[in-house]
Structure 1
Amino acid sequence: MEQVGLREALDELIKKFHLRSNIKVEWNIHVPTKLDEERELAVYRMIQELLNNALKHSQASHIQLTLEVQNEEVQLHYIDNGIGIDMKKLNHCDGKLGLFGIKERVQGLGGTCEMTSQLGEGLDIRITIPL
């Protein structure tokens, strides 16, 4: 990824996602500076996992993705209009949900991950990682 940069890598990821699914992804990336390699890779992998999760489980038709750097932290906001998930099940890790892995990855970087969802009402995830 260091050859192309995060924005270009995500652009490519989302283009490939559009070829595999009929989910519309609306995305805004405002990352003015290059992040360190560990954070760039982590953010890329998280977005990749969120898209894969949406494809496999969400039944969403629309995803909104925002990535920005503010107040010395990377902020990633994901929203979909899918079927939602039972948050109690998510908190008892079952290997099928990559969302649990995202939480662990964020915590490993000293960040926070807030997920809110109700069955039938989509998924809203806010991730914050300090720079």
Structure 2
Amino acid sequence: INTAVIPASFGVQAGDGRDRVQAGSCTGVNDAPIPCACPPAPTDPVFLASLARALRQGFFPDPSVASPIDLRRFNDAGDASPQTTADRATAMIQVLQSFSGTKGQGCPGVSFPALVSQQRSGVFGGDGSNVGVAGR
């Protein structure tokens, strides 16, 4: 995986706001409760391995969730087109939302606002502060 095309931050750090809103939970955007392990760091080996697997096999965690981009196109840092940038974000979001390996059992969207912003705008980088209320 070419980590140069992955944001340095997903916009929320795992463990932030522990027990502030709900006992046993941490907080994502707009103080929404999230699992305290969410999101993993963009450089987390398990995240990167899961992402690589998704991009190689064309889906994650099962065939019902097709990846919008393949490994070659994901890794091509020379392609900064809005479509490719948005597809990269979508692939990372798919992996994070099923991070446990089971469809839908992972990190919610409020734990990675930078990726939601990238998916919507096709623009790489940022902290997700421009996501808007609907994505928060």
Q: Do the two structures share a fold, i.e. TM-score over 0.5? A: no
Bin for the TM-score computed over the shorter chain: under 0.3
Which structure shows the bigger proportion of residues in strand conformation? Answer: 1
Which has the bigger relative contact order, CA under 8 A and spacing at least 6? 2
